[in-house]
């Protein structure tokens, strides 16, 4: 079976920026720690996953449909460090220099684009193509489907890389991949400033979803 790897570019750039020191600069003094780190991650992914096909997605610096539907979406997050955003152009140059396609869609986040590409790949090449999503965003776990879609979280410091199949997702979250959205609906998602049901945390939410199957039945 052939393998398609879809990389959440923004997630990997953020990871690289905070993993590598700001002393990494060009001879002219241009900060490139995120560029260097992203490139290292990209080369490691290619070496470890051996994809036949590979693409990278990025966020655009514009509001998404979620911001339009919910004004408070991610409102609690601090402004992104300008030292990071200034390197995004260079990161895109690296991707293009390797002849890798970049997918960006106005009004949507990189992981939305990844989800769409993963579903399309599964529909158009059933049984012939395995999709591996590379990200640090656990929201992607809802897409896991054994034999079709896996999630790969790269190594971070002393924490080794990990591949999530259906069994690993259920072990980690207490629910199946297709129940992750139900889980989040009950417990909320503080990283996105989305409130859940008062008094219900991850453990209780998982137990309720296991018992009732879906949030509409609770």
| CATH code given to domain 174-218 | 1.10.150.20
Mean pLDDT of 95-108: 96
- Taking the C-alpha atoms of residue 158 and residue 145, their distance in angstroms, rounded to an integer, is 28
Q: Which residues pair with 102 in a beta bridge?
A: 56
Give the residue-averaged pLDDT of 115-124.
93
How many angstroms separate the first and last alpha carbons of the chain?
A: 40
Fold of the 2-167 domain:
Rossmann fold (3.40.50)
Q: Is 194 left (phi over 0), alpha (psi -120 to 50) or beta?
A: beta
pLDDT (tens digit, 9 = 90+) per residue, 137-186? 889 999 999 989 999 999 888 889 999 999 999 999 999 999 999 999 89
d(CA 206, CA 211): 9
Average pLDDT, stretch 3-16?
Answer: 96
Distance CA 58, CA 165 (A): 24
Q: What are the sequence ranges of the domains in the chain? A: 2-167, 174-218
pLDDT above 80 for 87: yes
pLDDT one-digit tens code per residue, 16-60: 999 999 999 999 999 999 999 999 999 999 999 999 999 999 999
């Amino acid at each position: 079976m052939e393998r398609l790897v879809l990389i959440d570019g923004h997630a990997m750039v953020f990871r690289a920026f905070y993993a590598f020191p700001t002393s990494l600069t060009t001879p002219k003094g241009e900060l490139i720690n995120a560029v260097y780190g992203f490139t290292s991650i990209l080369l490691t992914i290619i070496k470890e996953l051996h994809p036949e096909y590979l693409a990278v997605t990025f966020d655009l610096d514009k509001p998404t449909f979620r911001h339009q539907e919910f004004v408070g979406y991610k409102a609690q997050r601090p402004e992104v460090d300008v030292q990071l955003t200034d390197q995004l152009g260079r990161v895109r140059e690296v991707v293009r220099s390797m002849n890798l396609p970049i997918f960006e869609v106005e009004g949507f986040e990189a992981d939305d684009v990844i989800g769409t590409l993963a579903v399309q790949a599964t529909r158009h090449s059933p049984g012939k193509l395995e999709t591996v999503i590379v990200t640090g965003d656990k929201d992607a776990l809802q897409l896991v489907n054994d034999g079709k879609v896996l999630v790969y979280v790269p190594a971070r410091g002393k924490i080794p890389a990990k591949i999530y199949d259906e069994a690993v997702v259920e072990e980690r979250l207490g629910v199946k991949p297709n129940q992750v959205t139900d889980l989040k609906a009950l417990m909320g998602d503080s990283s996105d400033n989305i409130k859940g049901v008062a008094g219900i945390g991850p453990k209780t939410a998982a137990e309720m979803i296991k018992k009732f199957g879906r949030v509409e039945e609770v």
